């Protein structure tokens, strides 16, 4: 049955290399033709979608729609999940961003017409949500994430990617950020605790805590990950040298890096990472802050339209 409730649509006009502001009038017209009743608001900068979603969910909207990329969906979900009515609120998405890794994991079309039609359909999926506790500006902070989070080299790449002009989509910005980060990066010695296991000391290039399969604009970082199985797929990417990393890196696109001797895959619902060295942290492609970091899984915490 079609969704009957009035929706709040939150649009990030800067998504998709600043192209969504041009696409939105056409998308809006199409969604109106589907019969969905909605209000909408445009975001004005980083973090604004969190505020808008929190206010909308608190004001009684039980159907929110995010129009943008993975960062927009990340922010809207974080706003929703901060209110007590989160379990009764549904999130729909129209992807107009550059990476769209969450859409790949969910199987949602990148065509706005197909995505728009799904907004009035009856297909729903409850997915797990990650929660990461970390440090930002010397204080404790926490953030929800839907697709993946990580520490180490990949977070450094996200930082470098954020500094690039937003002209290109897909994997290209991530690749450019990777190249810029490559020469100066040094692997980190970390203390890793998975679930109730004893702490272990490991030297890592990165550690990825995955809820979904895809990462970095289409890389199959965690090919066995499922959004609704109650577990993270934890990728411990070991003490790689630079030439070795260049050799193995292309395999991440088809998932054949799993099983490489310096890449370990674990599963669990709680992970803690600490170090005497400074390391950066990202979630859903958004740079958040620094470690130490603790990742916890909240099973079936969010209903999404698929």
Query: Which three-class secondary structure state does DSSP give residue 138?
Result: coil
- Where is the domain boundary, 102, 122, 142? 122
Tokens at residue 43, please?
């975001």
- What whole-number distance in Å separates Cα of residue 209 and Cα of residue 146? 11
Answer yes or no: are the C-beta atoms of 38 and 60 closer than 8 Å: no
The pLDDT confidence band at residue 1, using thresholds 50, 70 and 90, is very low
Cβ neighbours around 281 below 10 Å, total: 28
Q: What is the model's pLDDT at position 2?
A: 43
Tokens at residue 156, please?
């450094």
35 is in which domain, residue-wise? 7-122
What is the reported pTM? 0.90
- What whole-number distance in Å separates Cα of residue 138 and Cα of residue 74? 23
Q: Going by C-beta distance under 8 Å and a sequence separation of 6 or more, which residues neighbour residue 305? A: 3, 90, 91, 92, 93, 118, 119, 121, 123, 124
Co-location of 171 and 295 in the same domain: yes
Domain containing residue 293: CATH number: 2.60.200.40
Co-location of 154 and 291 in the same domain: yes
Co-location of 291 and 146 in the same domain: yes
Is pLDDT above 90 for 156? no
Helices (H) and strands (E) in the chain, counts: 9, 15
Tokens at residue 103, please?
């859409």
Q: Which residue has the higher pLDDT, 114 or 285?
A: 114
Co-location of 59 and 169 in the same domain: no
- What whole-number distance in Å separates Cα of residue 258 and Cα of residue 281? 22
Q: What is the pLDDT of residues 86-96, one digit of tens each?
A: 889 999 999 99
Q: What is the model's pLDDT at position 169?
A: 53
Strand partners, 300: none
Q: What is the pLDDT of residues 62-87, one digit of tens each?
A: 999 999 999 999 999 999 999 998 88
Q: Going by C-beta distance under 8 Å and a sequence separation of 6 or more, which residues neighbour residue 51? A: 79
The pLDDT confidence band at residue 149, using thresholds 50, 70 and 90, is very high
The pLDDT confidence band at residue 97, using thresholds 50, 70 and 90, is confident
Strand partners, 287: 282
Is the link from the previous residue into 59 a cis peptide, with omega within 30 of 0? no
Percentage of residues of the chain with pLDDT beyond 70? 92
Q: Report the phi/psi class of residue 265: left, alpha or beta, with left for phi > 0 and alpha for psi in -120 to 50.
A: beta
Report if residue 206 sits inside a domain.
yes
Q: Going by C-beta distance under 8 Å and a sequence separation of 6 or more, which residues neighbour residue 120? A: 2, 3, 34, 35, 36
Strand partners, 233: 210, 267
Is pLDDT above 60 for 257? yes
Co-location of 161 and 108 in the same domain: no
- Where is the domain boundary, 96, 122, 148? 122
Report if residue 305 sits inside a domain.
no
Query: Which three-class secondary structure state does DSSP give residue 279?
Result: coil
Distances, alpha carbon 250 to alpha carbons 184, 188, 198, in Å: 21, 22, 33
Co-location of 136 and 283 in the same domain: yes
- Where is the domain boundary, 91, 107, 122? 122
Co-location of 113 and 150 in the same domain: no
- What whole-number distance in Å separates Cα of residue 113 and Cα of residue 118? 9
The pLDDT confidence band at residue 99, using thresholds 50, 70 and 90, is confident
Report if residue 306 sits inside a domain.
no
Co-location of 186 and 252 in the same domain: yes
Co-location of 23 and 81 in the same domain: yes
Element (DSSP H or E) covering residue 41 = strand 38-42
The number of domains in the chain is 2
């Amino acid at each position: 049955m079609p969704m009957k409730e009035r929706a709040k649509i939150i649009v990030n006009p800067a998504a998709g290399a600043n192209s969504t502001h041009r696409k939105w009038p056409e998308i809006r017209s199409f969604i109106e033709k589907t019969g969905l009743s909605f209000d909408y608001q445009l975001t004005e900068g980083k973090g604004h979608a969190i505020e808008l979603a929190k206010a909308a969910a608190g004001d009684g909207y039980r159907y929110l729609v995010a129009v943008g990329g993975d960062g927009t969906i990340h922010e809207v979900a974080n706003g929703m999940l901060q209110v007590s009515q989160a379990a009764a609120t549904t999130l729909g998405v129209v992807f107009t961003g550059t990476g769209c890794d969450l859409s790949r994991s969910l199987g949602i079309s990148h065509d706005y017409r197909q995505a728009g039609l799904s907004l009035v359909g009856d297909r729903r999926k409850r997915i797990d949500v990650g929660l990461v506790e970390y440090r930002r500006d010397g204080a404790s902070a926490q953030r929800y994430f839907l697709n993946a989070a990580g520490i180490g080299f990949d977070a450094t790449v996200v930082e470098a990617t954020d500094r690039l002009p937003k002209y290109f989509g897909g994997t290209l910005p991530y690749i450019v950020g990777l190249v810029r980060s490559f020469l100066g990066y040094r692997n980190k010695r970390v203390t890793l605790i998975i679930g109730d296991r004893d702490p272990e000391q490991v030297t890592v290039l990165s550690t990825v805590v995955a809820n979904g399969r895809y990462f970095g604009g289409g890389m199959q970082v965690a090919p066995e990950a499922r959004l609704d199985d109650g577990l993270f797929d934890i990728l411990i990417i070991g003490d790689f040298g630079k030439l070795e990393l260049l050799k193995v890196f292309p395999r991440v696109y088809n998932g054949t890096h799993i099983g490489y001797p310096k890449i370990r895959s674990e599963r669990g619902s709680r992970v803690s990472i600490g170090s005497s060295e400074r390391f950066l942290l990202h979630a859903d492609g958004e740079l958040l802050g620094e470690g130490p970091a603790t990742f916890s899984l909240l099973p079936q915490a969010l209903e999404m339209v698929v």
